[in-house]
């Protein structure tokens, strides 16, 4: 499966909001889509293109915008497919993929927690790796690491 085939199949199935389909090293194609059309697009990619397995969901902070990418695998075509969408830098959010691919649940929780991308209609969007009440998004570029300060931990006995 290559980029032309992916493009033809997407057009044939009437997929909305496709911005571009480019060749990409290591995968069949990279499909860039508009985040508004995510909800109708995901089932089409799963059923019409035949990508039932979602490997991962990740987010990237490009400072002037956010990017969210989905890595999918097809058992019949034996290839990966990359979906990617650009999100607004102020309030990045996109429709959840977990109604189409249940495995997206935890990956989206992680992307929300670490990168700060909101997933609308997610069934269970809460902290996964950091403790509850942690208000930062460490994988944003503005979050800097530094040597730990001298600190005194007070153990409270209850």
Partner 1 sequence: MSDMWINMGPQHPMTHGLWNLRVHIDGEMILGVDPEMGYLHRGIEKISEDRHYNEVITLMDRTCYVAGMAWEHLYIQAAEKALGLEPPERAEWIRMMSEEFQRLASHIMWYAAFVQDLGLMSPFLYGMRDRDLILDLFQSYTGGRLTYEYMRVGGVRNDLPVGFNDRARKVLDWLEPRLVEYDRLCMGSDIFRRRCDDLGILKAADCVKHGVTGPMLRSAGSKRDIRKDRPYSRYAQVDFDVATAESADVTGRYLVRMEEMRQSIRILRQTLDWLDHHPGPVLADRLPRWLGAPYAPIGREAYLLKRNYPKGIGLSAIEEPHGEACAYVVNEGGEHPYRVKFRSPVFANLSAASQYLVGYHVADIPPIMGSVDVCVGEVDR
Partner 2 sequence: MSAAQPTVPPATKPMAPAVGPGGQLPVLSPDVSFIEIEALRSQQFLPAAKEALSALVKEQAEGTLIRPLFNWAGRNSLFPLHWGLACCAIEFAAAFGARWDAERFGVVPRSSPRQCDLMIVNGTVTWKVAHKLVTLYEQMPEPKWVIAMGNCATGGGPFRTAYSVVPGVDKLVPVDVYIAGCPPRPEAMLDGILRLEELIRERGA
Residue ranges binding partner 1 (CB under 8 A) = 24-27, 52-56, 58, 60-61, 69, 71, 73, 75, 78-80, 82, 101-103, 105-107, 114, 127-131, 138-139, 143, 145
53 three-class SS = strand
Binding to partner 2 (CB under 8 A) within 100-129 occurs at 129
146 binds, among partner 1, partner 2, none (CB under 5 to 8 A by kind): partner 2
Q: Judged by CB under 8 A, does residue 142 bind partner 2?
A: no
Contacts of 98 (CB under 8 A, 6+ apart): 104, 105, 108, 119, 122, 123
What DSSP assignment string belongs to 100-157?
T-TTHHHHHHHHHHHT--EEET-TT---SSSPTT----TTSTT----PPPP--PPPPP
Nearer to partner 1, 14 or 25 (CB): 25
> What does DSSP assign to residue 4?
H
Nearest approach, Cβ of 145 to partner 2 (angstroms)? 5
- Residue 54 near residue 104 (C-beta atoms within 8 A): yes
66 three-class SS = strand
54 binds, among partner 2, partner 1, none (CB under 5 to 8 A by kind): partner 1
Nearer to partner 2, 55 or 140 (CB): 140
Query: Could you list the residues that contact partner 2 (CB under 8 A)?
Result: 129-131, 136, 138, 143, 145-148, 151-153, 155, 157
């Amino acid at each position: 499966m290559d980029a032309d085939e992916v493009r033809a199949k997407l057009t044939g199935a009437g997929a909305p909001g496709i911005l571009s389909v480019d060749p990409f090293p290591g995968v069949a194609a990279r499909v860039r889509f508009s985040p508004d059309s995510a909800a109708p697009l995901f089932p089409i990619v799963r059923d019409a293109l035949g990508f039932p397995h979602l490997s991962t969901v990740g987010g990237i902070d490009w400072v002037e915008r956010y990017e969210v990418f989905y890595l999918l695998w097809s058992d019949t075509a034996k290839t990966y497919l990359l979906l990617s969408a650009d999100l607004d830098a102020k309030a990045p959010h996109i429709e959840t993929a977990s109604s189409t691919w249940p495995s997206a649940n935890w990956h989206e929780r992680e992307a929300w927690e670490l990168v700060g991308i909101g997933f609308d209609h997610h069934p269970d969007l809460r902290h996964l790796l950091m403790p509850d009440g942690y208000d930062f998004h460490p994988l944003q570029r503005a979050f800097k690491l530094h040597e730990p300060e001298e600190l005194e931990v007070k153990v409270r006995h209850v």
